[in-house]
């Protein structure tokens, strides 16, 4: 099967023919319908965060089950699913329903699941979604709720759950709250729509790209501020003293500092963006104590995909949660390189790599192969 492989940081992805191993009893094989491009993939491509090579990135995936292992009961071939991160189901966190915090995600048993010329290929988040097919732990897949288009359901797997969940399950934004969101990419736009649905009174969108600020308004931003060194002061002025919650959805030390600087008394900076490995932030402790500020961090929206998927679908079906407007482009696997350049420039919300679900050729086969 074809997959976009990263051989080393800062190298272009190469479309390769890789081998998938047999499906183990605890696994499912999923024919990918859509796979989103997230900044967390990009961080591995440029070496901001490490991973083994060769690597198969992609972790925002939906598809159709092709094969289920003998020990998997909750899905069957033909089911449309969203692929999430694996969890063990037995650790303290899983037992408490916090599957996203699993202490001991099932380690891969047996031979490598994906190989390239006999060498093991690393599957990012144990998914590896930039491929025609994924082989994953059965517990990682969740059925696509009725009424949600299968390709758009991929967005639930990362952008939607990470952005919306940061608001609903990490910060627990209350109606009437004052909110700022720094970074209006795929995840930040979801924090904005989450805050709108939660009833925030003001939602100030901050981004260095004016196009993103226009998009932010469509998702519910009430005010916009151009990102940069003076943005915290502008937010303080606009909100007459600062916001209750500032979501940092860029992943840079300077925007984390800005998030803290735009808070009012008792406010919380919510760290969603993931900085470069080893990054440090220096905090003005005087201000933190004087204003009784809080710093929160969130991973995958601080909620499990399994428990969130039904209410997210209800919000979508009620017309509250926008999915299609998040999709800037649908591309074939061969065009992934160009889409990565756009992601690097912060130009688009989400790009979906889509595959023909009728089991035949993907849209990219109309072009010469890369």
Residue ranges in contact with ligand NAD by CB under 6 A? 38-40, 43, 158, 162, 182-188, 206-209, 212, 227, 249-252, 255, 272-274, 298-300, 343, 346
- Distance CA(161)–CA(38), nearest Å, equals 13
Minimum separation from the CB atom of position 127 to ligand NAD (A):
13
- Distance CA(6)–CA(259), nearest Å, equals 33
> Which of 24/38 has CB closer to Zn ion?
38
Instruction: Give the binding range for Zn ion (CB under 5 A) out of 20-28, 31-39, 195-203, 242-250.
Output: 31-39
Among Zn ion, ligand NAD, none, what binds residue 208 when CB lies within 5 to 8 Å by partner kind? ligand NAD
- Distance CA(318)–CA(95), nearest Å, equals 32
Among Zn ion, ligand NAD, none, what binds residue 128 when CB lies within 5 to 8 Å by partner kind? none
Stretch 35-94 residues interacting with Zn ion (CB under 5 A): 38, 40
Among ligand NAD, Zn ion, none, what binds residue 209 when CB lies within 5 to 8 Å by partner kind? ligand NAD
CB neighbourhood size of 118 (10 A):
7
Kindly provide the b/e burial profile for residues 158-188, where b requires at least 16 CB atoms within 10 angstroms of the residue's own CB. bbbbbbbbbbbbbbebeeebbbbbbbbbbbb
> Which of 105/188 has CB closer to ligand NAD?
188
CB neighbourhood size of 127 (10 A):
28
- Distance CA(2)–CA(23), nearest Å, equals 18
> Which of 65/272 has CB closer to ligand NAD?
272
How many degrees, rounded to 5, is the angle at CA 362 between CA 361 and CA 363?
A: 125
CB-CB contact of 231 with 182 (8 Å) = yes
Q: What is the DSSP letter of 169?
A: I
> Which of 156/219 has CB closer to Zn ion?
156
Minimum separation from the CB atom of position 248 to ligand NAD (A):
9
Minimum separation from the CB atom of position 62 to ligand NAD (A):
16
Q: Cα(first)–Cα(last) distance of the chain, in Å?
A: 15
Minimum separation from the CB atom of position 181 to ligand NAD (A):
9
CB-CB contact of 73 with 140 (8 Å) = no
Minimum separation from the CB atom of position 340 to ligand NAD (A):
11
- Distance CA(244)–CA(267), nearest Å, equals 4
Stretch 129-158 residues interacting with Zn ion (CB under 5 A): 158
Q: Which residues bind Zn ion (CB under 5 A)?
A: 38, 40, 158
């Amino acid at each position: 099967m074809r997959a976009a492989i990263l051989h080393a940081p800062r190298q272009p992805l190469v479309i390769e023919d890789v081998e998938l191993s047999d499906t183990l009893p605890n696994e499912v094989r999923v024919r990918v319908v859509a796979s989103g491009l997230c900044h967390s993939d990009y961080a591995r491509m440029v070496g901001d965060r490490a991973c083994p090579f060769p690597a198969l990135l992609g972790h925002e995936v939906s598809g159709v089950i092709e094969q289920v292992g003998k020990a998997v009961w909750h899905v069957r071939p033909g089911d449309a699913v969203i692929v999430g991160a694996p969890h063990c189901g037995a650790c303290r966190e899983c037992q408490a329903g916090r599957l996203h915090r699993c202490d001991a995600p099932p380690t891969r048993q047996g031979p490598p699941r994906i190989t390239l010329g006999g060498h093991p290929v690393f599957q990012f988040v144990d998914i590896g979604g930039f491929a025609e097919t994924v082989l994953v732990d059965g517990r990682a897949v969740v059925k696509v709720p009725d009424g949600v288009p299968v390709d758009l359901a991929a967005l639930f797997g990362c952008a939607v759950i990470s952005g919306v969940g940061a608001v609903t399950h990490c910060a627990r934004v209350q109606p009437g709250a004052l909110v700022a969101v720094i970074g209006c990419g795929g995840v930040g736009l979801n924090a904005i729509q989450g805050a709108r649905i939660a009833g925030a009174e003001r939602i100030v969108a901050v981004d260095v790209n004016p196009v993103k600020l226009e998009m932010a308004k469509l998702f519910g931003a009430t005010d916009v501020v151009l990102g940069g060194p003076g943005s915290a002061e502008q937010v303080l002025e606009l909100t007459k003293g600062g916001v209750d919650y500032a979501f940092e959805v860029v992943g840079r030390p300077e925007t984390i500092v800005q998030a803290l600087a735009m808070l009012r008394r008792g406010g919380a900076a919510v760290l969603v963006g993931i900085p470069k490995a080893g990054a440090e932030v220096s905090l003005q402790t005087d201000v933190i104590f004087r204003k009784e500020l809080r710093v929160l961090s969130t991973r995958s929206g601080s909620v499990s995909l399994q428990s969130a998927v039904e209410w997210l679908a209800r919000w979508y079906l009620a017309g509250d949660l926008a999915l299609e407007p998040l999709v800037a482009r649908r591309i074939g696997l061969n065009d992934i390189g160009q889409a990565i350049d756009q992601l690097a420039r912060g130009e688009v919300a989400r790009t979906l790599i889509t595959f023909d679900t009728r089991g035949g050729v993907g849209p990219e086969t109309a072009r010469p192969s890369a």
